[in-house]
Amino acid sequence: MAEQPSGPTFPVHVDERELAEDLSHASEAGRAAIEPLIQQLKTDGVPAAWLRRCDSEARDGTRLPGCVKIYIPQPAGQWGAVFLGGARRGDPTLFLLAVGNRHPSGPWKPSVYEIAHRRLHRPDRDPAG
């Protein structure tokens, strides 16, 4: 389990259906790295020190304005999670958009950033989770 640094943390909201979908496409090693960390983040929040800003518009065509990411495992693992900042019950919250491989080896496999882009720009997306 990743040791959380001291400092501020942000609560996390997870859509369990989307998480299950992402995990169903992950390798066994990916699931072993992602599942316990996401459970820890749901309980303890995401340390601000782990957060990295996503590119508003990346070279691969993904657009993730206002999104942040973490690497799994810390500090620079091959998997990642993408979050959208918002509020829940008036409190600042990070909404999990996607988890998965940051840069998959097969071009037919979408990256975590491509999955997050599709979900973020889905017409029926409820920004409040």
Could you state, in order of their start, the residue ranges of all structural domains in the chain? 9-120
Per-residue pLDDT band at 118 (split at 50, 70, 90): very high
- 129 has pLDDT over 80: no
How many residues are given for the chain? Answer: 129
pLDDT of residue 97: 97
pLDDT of residue 76: 92
- pLDDT tens, residue by residue, 54-106: 999 998 899 999 999 999 999 999 999 999 999 999 889 999 999 999 999 88
Residue showing tokens 């940051």: 102
Task: Measure the CA–CA gap between 38 and 105, rounded to whole angstroms.
Answer: 23
Share of the chain above pLDDT 70, in %: 94
CATH topology of domain 9-120: YaeB-like fold (3.30.2310)
Closest alpha carbon to 101 in 23, 38, 42 = 23
Per-residue pLDDT band at 128 (split at 50, 70, 90): low
pLDDT of residue 94: 97
Query: With contact defined as beta carbons under 8 Å apart, do 117 and 98 qualify?
Result: no
The residue-averaged pLDDT of 35-64 equals 95
pTM for this predicted structure = 0.92
The residue-averaged pLDDT of 25-40 equals 96
